[in-house]
Chains A and B, each alone.
Chain A
Amino acid sequence: QVQLQQSGAELVKPGSSVKISCKASGYTFTSYDMHWIKQQPGNGLEWIGWIYPGNGNTKYNQKFNGKATLTADKSSSTAYMQLSSLTSEDSAVYFCARLVHGRGGSGYFDYWGQGVMVTVSS
C-alpha cells in the first residue's frame, strides 16, 4: 500500500534552516510528482511546489521562491524540503502529497504524509 512517511517535529531558531523528509513506499517513486503543502494553525492549505523525482525537475509557488528548496533521492525513495531564513511566519505543518494527473489535466492529491510541525522560536 502507498505510504508517505514524514520526519519528526522540528523546533528551530529564527534565521536558521530546516530540512524535512518524506519517504515513499508502495509505488514507483520516480513515476509521480511529489508536492509540498503548508498549513498554518487554524488556517487552510497553501501549495509550496513540486518535484518530479524521475528527473529532478521542480516548480515552485512564486511566494516560496528562495524560501523552499525541493530535492529527491531516488536510491532511498525520499523527497526533501529545505526551508531557509526561518521566521515565525514559517511555523506551520508541512505535508508531502502525491499528485495524480486526472482527467483534463486536473491534478489531485491521492496520498498525503502525516505532516511535520515546524516551530520557529528563539
Chain B
Amino acid sequence: EIVLTQSPTTMAASPGEKVTLTCRASSSVSYMHWYQQRSGTSPKLWIYETSKLASGVPNRFSGSGSGTSYSLTINSMETEDAATYYCQQGSSYPPTFGAGTKLELK
C-alpha cells in the first residue's frame, strides 16, 4: 500500500502568515486530495484532484504537486483555519491517508 507522510506533524501560525503543509507518497500517485477536520467533527473534503477547491473553501487555500510530492498552502492564515489537515490518495488500492498535520493559531 502507498504510505503518505505528512509534515510537519504540528505547527502554529499567526494570522496573516503564509502556511505550507506537505504530503509525500511512497510511490507516485496521479492526484492528491486533502481534508480538513476540526475537533469532534467529521473530515470535510477541502481540496480534490491536487488543486481544485471543494465547495465553500476560501480561495486563500491552494494545492499543488505531482508524482510523490504534494502541498497545501494557505496564503494568509485566518483563525478559522486552525484544524487538522489530512492528505489522501485514491490512485491505488487501498485508499490511504496521511497521519495529518495539526495547524494551530499562534
Q: Which residues of A contact B (CB under 8 A)?
A: 35, 43-47, 59, 61, 95, 99-100, 102-115
Q: Does B17 contact A (CB under 8 A)?
A: no
Q: What is the minimal beta-carbon distance from B96 to any residue of chain A, in angstroms?
A: 7
Inter-chain contact A106/B30, CB cutoff 8 Å:
yes
| Size class of the contact patch on chain B | 20 to 34
Inter-chain contact A47/B42, CB cutoff 8 Å:
no
CA distance A25 to B97 in the complex (A): 26
Q: Given A107-B95, A108-B33, are A102 and B100 also a contact pair (CB < 8 Å)?
A: no
**What residues on A are CB-neighbors of B41 within 8 Å?**
114
Neighbour of B93 across the interface among A59, A104, A113, CB < 8 A = A59
Cβ-closest 10 pairs across A and B: A107-B90, A104-B30, A108-B33, A45-B97, A112-B42, A106-B31, A106-B90, A44-B99, A106-B91, A108-B48
CA distance A106 to B93 in the complex (A): 10
Neighbour of B95 across the interface among A47, A95, A111, A113, CB < 8 A = A47
Q: Given A44-B97, A47-B95, are A108 and B45 also a contact pair (CB < 8 Å)?
A: yes
With A44-B98, A44-B99, A108-B90 known, 6 other A-B pairs at CB within 8 A are A45-B88, A107-B95, A108-B88, A112-B44, A113-B42, A114-B41
Q: Does B29 contact A (CB under 8 A)?
A: yes
Inter-chain contact B97/A61, CB cutoff 8 Å:
no
Q: Does B67 contact A (CB under 8 A)?
A: no
Q: What is the minimal beta-carbon distance from A82 to any residue of chain B, in angstroms?
A: 20
**What residues on A are CB-neighbors of B61 within 8 Å?**
none
Inter-chain contact B42/A95, CB cutoff 8 Å:
yes
Inter-chain contact A102/B88, CB cutoff 8 Å:
no
CA distance A45 to B6 in the complex (A): 13
Q: Which of B38-63 contact A (CB under 8 A)?
A: 41-45, 48-49, 54
